[in-house]
């Protein structure tokens, strides 16, 4: 092998048509080639055989039209040979020479970088990649290179100052790169969300100076609004959790990103008592189904992260803005509410809490113990949190140091007070 005679002790198998042997001369991390000759009883074969460890291409990144550094990943992409001498490397992408090739890490031959010149051709896509290391060309690869291929890295659903009359700040922000064409313009591009393709030449986008090759701001309410003449009749029912892609004018398509809209709570109607009750939640993006008709992961919790609703329903013909649910029994008269859909937790923008039914006094019993009056108040919906109790006798509201609560339940409060009064002179105490 390469004029070096192999010792027979290295042979694993030797029969009439197969020879398998072990050698330290072949290192699979490097591009190289070997010439084999076979001699049996001093009779050599008439032809020698060339074996090549060739480079392999597994992936390549994209760069803007202005050119720049590209990284190719694969195997045996060595800028130095096994003996540490420099390899002769030629990298071509389409008709472009990618110059100054070198390993990103000198000890790692699985990636190589080089500098690609600029392109002014929007159609520079699906270009063949050729790597020659010491004149040994890579194995054929399905991996192709495209200038300015759009990519989406993340998104953000943002809303502020939303109430029943103002929806202007409800927007989806898409972050990534290469949303533009070769002239740096994005209004020739488009995006597809839940099967709907929307052109960016719409004034909703061209009037926003923050839209550029790396950022796209989608005003959800203006776009998905049946009363908006610019919305191309986009149905509000399409505004569900789903997938979004970006397309350039030559139909280069970005990766797909899964969009999960944050539910928005604007109002809570109805009231509960300790046994729960029916409440109605009004807001946006209360989707029980994703766009592909899969069920969303839907949950309603309180401020203690405890599920509080069951049997929630959607009104017929509702565009995911109303949910009716049966609130579970509770021991607290202060109950916040949050909706979680596909791991996205709502923000209660108006700080609405679930209304607890007003306390009802049915009867009062009093007894005198020296200078202390003891009142037993019977009724409903008193709660069990002493810090929330306020006592009013007639027109006078007792201060906290003027009474103490001995016992409390939803139906009974026993309190002691040194406040002097004749109970038949006043209406029943209020809570």
pLDDT digits (tens, 9 = 90+) for 371-400: 888 889 999 999 999 888 898 888 888 888
Higher-pLDDT residue of 366 and 42 is: 366
- pLDDT reading at 302 higher than 70: yes
CA neighbor of 143 nearest in space, from 66, 56, 79, 78 = 56
pLDDT value at position 162? 59
- pLDDT reading at 210 higher than 60: yes
Tokens 């049966």 belong to residue: 326
Going by CATH, does the domain composed of 264-356 fall within 3.40.190.10? Answer: no
- Min mean pLDDT across 60-74, 151-165, 182-196, 227-241 is at 227-241
Domain ranges for the chain, please list them: 8-53, 57-137, 151-259, 264-356, 360-425
- Alpha carbon 110 to chain centroid distance? 30
CB 36 within 8 A of CB 49: yes
Higher-pLDDT residue of 263 and 169 is: 263
pLDDT value at position 411? 94
pLDDT value at position 134? 95
pLDDT band at residue 334 using 50, 70 and 90 as cut-offs:
confident
pLDDT value at position 406? 92
- pLDDT reading at 9 higher than 90: no
Q: What is the mean pLDDT of the chain?
A: 84
Q: How far apart are CA 186 and CA 216, in angstroms?
A: 9
Q: Which two tokens stand for residue 20?
A: 């398998």
Same fold, 57-137 and 264-356: yes
Q: How far apart are CA 147 and CA 253, in angstroms?
A: 12
pLDDT value at position 14? 57
- pLDDT reading at 135 higher than 70: yes
pLDDT tens digits for 305-315? 999 988 778 77
CA neighbor of 309 nearest in space, from 280, 266, 350 = 280
- pLDDT reading at 133 higher than 50: yes
Q: How far apart are CA 402 and CA 30, in angstroms?
A: 88
pLDDT value at position 82? 87
| Greatest mean pLDDT range, 38-47, 120-129, 210-219 | 210-219
- Min mean pLDDT across 204-208, 385-389, 425-429 is at 425-429
Supply the DSSP symbol for 28: T
Instruction: Give Cα separations from 347 to 159, 162, 283 (angstroms).
Output: 10, 11, 11
pLDDT value at position 298? 92
Q: Which residues of 313-350 are buried (b: 16+ CB within 10 A; e: fewer)?
A: ebeeeebbbbbbbebbebebbebbbbbbbbebebebee
pLDDT tens digits for 67-95? 999 999 999 999 999 889 999 999 999 99
Supply the DSSP symbol for 178: -
Architecture of the domain made up of 57-137? Sandwich (2.60)
| Greatest mean pLDDT range, 182-186, 223-227, 410-414, 422-426 | 410-414
Other beta carbons within 10 angstroms of residue 32's beta carbon come to 22
- pLDDT reading at 427 higher than 60: no
pLDDT band at residue 425 using 50, 70 and 90 as cut-offs:
very low
SS3 429: coil
pLDDT tens digits for 214-261? 999 998 877 876 555 455 556 666 789 999 999 988 778 899 999 999
CB 330 within 8 A of CB 276: yes
CB 290 within 8 A of CB 296: yes
């Amino acid at each position: 092998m390469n004029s070096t005679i192999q010792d027979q002790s290295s042979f694993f198998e030797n029969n009439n048509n197969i020879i398998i042997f072990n050698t330290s001369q072949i290192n699979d991390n490097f591009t190289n080639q070997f010439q084999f000759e076979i001699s049996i009883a001093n009779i050599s074969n008439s032809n020698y055989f060339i074996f090549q460890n060739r480079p392999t291409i597994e992936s390549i990144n994209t760069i803007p039209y202005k050119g720049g550094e590209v990284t190719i990943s694969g195997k045996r992409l060595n800028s130095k040979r096994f003996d540490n001498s420099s390899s002769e490397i030629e990298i071509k992408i389409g008709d472009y020479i990618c110059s100054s090739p070198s390993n990103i890490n000198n000890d790692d031959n699985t990636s190589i970088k080089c500098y690609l010149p600029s392109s002014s051709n929007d159609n520079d896509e699906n270009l063949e990649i050729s790597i020659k290391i010491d004149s040994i060309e890579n194995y054929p690869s399905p991996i192709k290179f495209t200038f300015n291929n759009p990519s989406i890295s993340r998104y953000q659903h943002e809303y502020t100052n939303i109430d029943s009359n103002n929806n202007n700040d409800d927007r989806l922000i898409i972050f990534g790169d290469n949303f533009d064409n070769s002239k740096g313009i994005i209004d020739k591009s488009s995006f597809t969300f839940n099967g709907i393709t929307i052109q960016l030449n719409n004034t909703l986008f061209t009037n926003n100076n923050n839209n550029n090759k790396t950022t796209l701001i989608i005003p959800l309410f203006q776009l998905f609004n049946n009363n908006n003449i610019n919305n191309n009749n986009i149905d509000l029912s399409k505004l569900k959790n789903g997938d979004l892609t970006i397309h350039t004018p030559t139909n280069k398509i970005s990766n797909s990103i899964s969009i999960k809209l944050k539910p928005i709570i604007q109002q809570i109607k109805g009231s509960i008592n300790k046994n729960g009750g029916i409440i109605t939640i009004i807001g946006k993006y209360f989707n029980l189904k994703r766009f592909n008709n899969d069920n969303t992961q839907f949950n309603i919790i309180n401020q203690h992260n405890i599920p509080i609703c069951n049997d929630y329903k959607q009104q017929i013909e509702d565009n995911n803005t109303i949910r009716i649910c049966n609130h579970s029994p509770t021991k607290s008269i202060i109950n916040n509410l949050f909706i979680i859909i596909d791991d996205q937790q709502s923000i209660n923008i108006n700080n609405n809490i679930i209304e607890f039914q007003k306390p009802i006094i049915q009867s009062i019993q009093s007894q005198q113990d020296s200078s202390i009056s003891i009142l037993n108040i019977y009724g409903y919906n008193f709660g069990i949190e002493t810090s929330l109790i306020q006592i009013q006798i007639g027109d006078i509201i007792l201060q906290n140091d003027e009474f103490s609560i001995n016992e409390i339940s939803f139906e009974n409060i026993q309190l002691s007070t040194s406040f002097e009064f004749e109970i038949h002179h006043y209406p029943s105490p209020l809570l």
